[in-house]
Structure formats: structure tokens, C-alpha cells
Structure 1
């Protein structure tokens, strides 16, 4: 078992706000850490094929644990990768050490919660920009309500989705809860619905999917969302959306506009295969907001197997991708 460091961020409250310059630095650092981490993890898997994201810490043992515990957070957010990242002949021991240090830095910088905060600087609801306001706006335009909603990656229990009165009972979950009204829970570990009473009319997933470690896990997360949505009821005349469940998805815009391997057309294909029909979208400076109606299990199809390949070249591209193969 790994010892938890006394300073681990999961046990402390994240900063209330971030200045724009600090936010940009953190976003770049998180993106770089994710990119470098993926490189190191892939190289370790080539040495240990049974290594996976769920159990790798235990598998890598004391060597990983010691490096993780001893890591000290640097003051700077340098964009230069560790020499191990660029050394194709680096030993397994060095790769394990590099992975542990990157995991420790991600945790000590606040993990997903602080990344979400940094990504939404300028969109804080107190400054007029809470991301869920777009969901509320679109539901108001459609004169639409919901009996229940699940908010994955919830930052605040006082955001628009919770206070507008259109979404009935809102269940809020986050990996690192920041308040008693937010359940500390990993969506992928949430028990599967036992009945329709455990399903939702709306799922909101804001700036979470891009933080999931691997492309395959991102695909699995999108597919699992369909298990938590209520099946649509027969549509009545003049109420096209009212009897359908919905998904509100927010991603950093570069995931679709600046990825080597992925674009918006590919996302549309994936979402269509899961029974989702895009009905609204909005591109802001840094993020994209998407609203989907879910047509139900009967509308789901198998995605044609796709090999990950480069579709855009360039050194400034990111590696975001969603893998649906085998799902």
C-alpha cells in the first residue's frame, strides 16, 4: 500500500480563485504533464504489458512510492520536459521515477479540481461566466425542464444548474469534493443504476473528459454515460426535446481544434454511435460547449474500428484522442 503524503491536495481546499496569468501557466503545465506522462506510461507498458491505470501504483511498488513521497513541488512551471522523456534508452527505473514525480506534481498542484478552475478563469459564475449557464440558457430557449440531473466534476453547489430551478434534484459529484453538497466520487466507480429511479434526465460533464488519463478510458466514460440516462419517452407534437434525456459536454477547444489525432467530425461520429444528437454548441475563446439529446439505446450503433493516426502535424499540437475500439 502506498503511503499518502501529508501535503496531498486531496485533503486540502483548492484556491478560491486564480489570476489569468497563473491560470494560463497551470493549464500549460497540466497539459504538458499529461502529454509527458502518457509517453512514459506507454514505454512502461511496453516493458510490462499487464500494467494498467487502475493498479500500476501497486505494481510498480516501493520504487514508485519512494519517488512520489520525496517529490518537492517546484515554484516554476517550466515547459521543458525531463530528460527521461526524450531519452529513448532510459532505464525502467528512471521511467518509474519520472512517472511518480509527474503523478505527485499533478496531485500537489490540485489535480482535476484546480485544472478545472484554471480552465474556467473568466467564467466564474460570480463574474458572469459559470459554464453551466449555457446549459440553462439552451433549456430556457427550448422551454424545457428536467426532473433530475447528474453533474460530473462539480465545482460549486451554487452554480446556474443548481439554482435556476429547471433541473429538479441535482446530484453533484467530484473526485475532490469542495463542500458537503458535493459527493466525493469517481463517475467510473459510481454503482450502475439498479432501476430507472437511479437514472437522470440530464448529465453535465464539464472539463472532465479531457483529464481522463487514456483515450480508451475517455471512450469508456462516454459510453457509460448512456447507462445513467433515462430512455426517451414517445415524442408528442411540438415537444421535440421535452421527453428526451440530454448530455451537456464541455471540452477545452484545443481538444477539437488543435489535436494531432482528433477533430470535431470524429467527436460527432462517436457521439452519434452512442445515440447522441448534437442540438446546440458554442465556441468560446478557450472551451467549447455542446448539448446533445439522447435518442436511447435503440439508436446506438457500433463505431467502425479506427486506428489512431496523425491527421494534423506540427510541434504545437496536443495528443487528445478518444478511442472507442472494443467498446
Structure 2
């Protein structure tokens, strides 16, 4: 009986029998981008139709009681007409019948078990160590540096809001620096106990200072927000969830950690590293750490209300070309009044 040989390291030589499915990086990005787009479209349609779906029961209700919704459920995936309408849904003035058809179309794709499992697999692949791993490990490294240099009061118990969380076992949750960590994501099926299913743009604004956060982590989320204006609204909304600590001699403050695909800043016609930092500065954030990897970039900002400049914000309300090239992308972030 033949035995499969082993290498000098002890690893077996031959086919991998673990049978773990993998997805190529390009397809991973496409799946995640599609899922976020559908969720954003769903929220906009619900708002236009003045509907709520807090318990995820609306799909069954409408499918049996609304003919237009049912018609949308039956439309073939990838329908060009509806896809074009979904892109413009934020400025839609269509009749309710069309909005319900679009909602049925979106809900059906989101409810597809195969599509959901692909999204969950793609999300996990995005955190795989072979593809950059857990992005929050960079954050924890920086926070430890700040504490060691006394730029951050290490005796101050810090809490955090993690937007687009994929696991309760990542570095931000296990480092001991942040406690508690509130984790939200558009989908929480990977970890029902540790992650709240929620859209940050729909999260209720804290009423009291104690309910605000010392840190907001926004890793590979901002780039999935559909439009430049909505991305700007998200950046602006961070302020409402951060503690209003005044930076004094102990450098105590609140922070925003942002991770973006590197091409968003390095290969965009309308956004660059310097322009992004300047935009955040106009909103009242000081860039204290920045690092580029092969495919992503990491930035840590400290909230300093003294830096906020409303006049300066007007520079980022209109599109401005930073550079040009045939293979550049059009990623942009625009602030609004």
C-alpha cells in the first residue's frame, strides 16, 4: 500500500484534500461590491416607499400581498432595465408600482442562499492572511505606539464602533485596548451573537456623550458606498458618534481609522492621498498615521474640533481633477452643505 510522501517540512506532497473553496481577489471584490450595492438600494427603496423591515419579515408579507413586488421577484437576474433604474434610485421619482417591482427584484437576489453564502465566503477571503489579513492589527500597533509615546492616555478606558465588522475575534476586539467594541455590518450571518445587522447611515445618533465612541473603525467600507456625495455624508457623520474630548496635555482624543483600496487614492483622477487628508482636516481631523501596503492604505485620524473649517469644506463640494490617465479610476468623495 503506497503512502503519500512528505516534504522536508513535513507537509504532504500531492493534491490538497482539505476541499476549502477559494475565490479570486477580483471576484471577491465584485461579490462584496454587489452585495453592498443591493443593500444600499434596498434601504433607499424602503425609504421612498415609507416602509420598515426591522425583523426581516417584509419579504414574505409583500410577496404574498403585493402584485408589483411579486412581479419584481420574477424578473430575471441582471435585467438591464431595472439595473439602470437601481443606479438612479436615489433620484427616482417613479410611481409606487415601479418602486415595488425594483424592491422585489433586490429582495429576491439578497434572499438567494447561494448569493449570500458567496458574499460570506468573499468577506472571509478578504480577511484571509494571504490577502492582507486582519486590517485592525495595524490599528492596534499604532494605538500601542501612541500609548508608549504618551500621545494617548493609556489609563483611559476606550470603546469602539467597528463598521463593516466580519469577526468578533479580530485584533480590535481581542487586544484589550477597546472595551466594549460595538460591531455592525449590513449582514450579520457570519456571527449572529457578536455583530449587529445595521447600516451605519441608519444608526441612531447618540443623545448623550457616554453613548459616543473613542474610536470608529471603517475598514474597506467607504469605497463600497455608491456615490461620492454619500461617501462625504458618511465622513461627515463620523463626528456625531465620536466623543468630544478636548486634546490637552495628555493628548486624550477620539479617533477614526479608515482603510481603503490603494487605487482609491493612488490611481484616481479626483482623489489623492493629500486631498483626502486635506478633506478630513477640514472636517476636524488630524492625520497622525498613514501607511500603504500592496493593495490597501491605512489612515488614522485624531478628532480635533479646533481644526474644523467650514469655509475650507467648500473646496471639497465640487469635483476637482488631481491628475489624469487612461487607466485611472473615478473614485471621489464630495462633501455637501
Give the TM-score normalised by the residue count of structure 1: 0.69
- Aligned-partner Cα distance in 2 for 1:63–1:260: 45
Give the deviation of 1:149 after TM superposition: 0.8
Equivalent position to 1:286, from 271, 285, 295: 295
- 1:300 partnered with 2:308: yes
CA distances 1:31-59 after superposition (whole Å, capped 9, x unpaired): 58999xx9xx9xxxxxxxxxx66645789
Alignment-derived partner of residue 27 in structure 2: 25
Residue 129 of structure 2: SS of its match in structure 1? coil
Partner of 2:225: 212
Q: Residue 260 of structure 1: CA displacement?
A: 3.1
Q: Secondary structure at the match of 1:226?
A: helix
Q: Give the superposition deviation at 1:112.
A: 7.5
Residue 172, structure 1, aligned to residue 160, structure 2? no
* Mapped contact 2:163–2:217 kept (Cα < 8 A): yes
> Do the aligned partners of residues 315 and 101 (structure 1) sit closer, same or farther apart at CA in structure 2, a change above 3 Å counting?
farther
Q: Distance in 2 between matches of 1:55 and 1:256?
A: 32
| 2:139 aligned residue | 135
2: CA distance, partners of 1:65 / 1:99: 7
**2:259–2:299 contact (8 Å) kept in structure 1:** yes
Contact (CA 8 Å) 1:112, 1:211: kept in 2 or not? no
In the aligned structure 1, how far is the partner of 2:296 from the partner of 2:166? 16
Structure-2 separation of matches of 1:153 and 1:288: 17
Structure 2 equivalent of residue 246 of structure 1: 255
SS of residue in 2 equivalent to 1:280? strand
User: In the alignment, which residue of structure 1 is the partner of 2:330?
Assistant: 319
Q: How does 1:131-210 map onto structure 2 within 5 Å?
A: 131-143=135-147, 144=152, 145=154, 146-177=157-188, 178-210=191-223
Closer/same/farther in 2, CA of residues 104 and 114 from structure 1, 3 Å limit: farther
Q: Give the aligned partner of residue 11 of structure 2.
A: none
How far is 1:185 from its partner?
1.4
1:11 alignment counterpart:
none
* Paired residues for 1:24-63 under 5 Å: 24-28=26-30, 55=47
Q: 1:32 to 1:163 in 2, by over 3 A?
A: closer
Asked if the contact 1:71/1:104 (under 8 Å) is kept, the reply is: no
CA RMSD of aligned residues (A): 4.0
- What secondary structure, in the 3-state scheme, does the structure 2 residue paired with 1:142 have? helix
Q: Name the structure 2 match of 1:9.
A: none
Q: Which runs of 5+ in 2 are unaligned?
A: 1-19, 52-61, 85-93
Q: Distance in 1 between matches of 2:32 and 2:275?
A: 24
Q: Say which one has the larger Rg.
A: 2
Q: Is the 8 A contact 1:18 1:118 kept in 2?
A: no
Residues 31, 195 of structure 1: alpha-carbon distance in 2 compared, 3 angstrom cutoff: closer
Given that 1:20 and 1:121 are in contact with CA atoms closer than 8 Å, whether structure 2 keeps it comes out as no
Q: C-alpha distance in 2, partners of 1:32/1:254? A: 19
Q: What is aligned with 1:48?
A: none
Give the 3 Å change call, closer, same or farther, for CA 103–184 of structure 1 in structure 2.
closer
Cα displacement (A) at 1:284: 1.5
Q: TM-score with structure 2 length normalisation?
A: 0.67
Q: Give the 3-state SS of the residue equivalent to 1:168 in structure 2.
A: strand
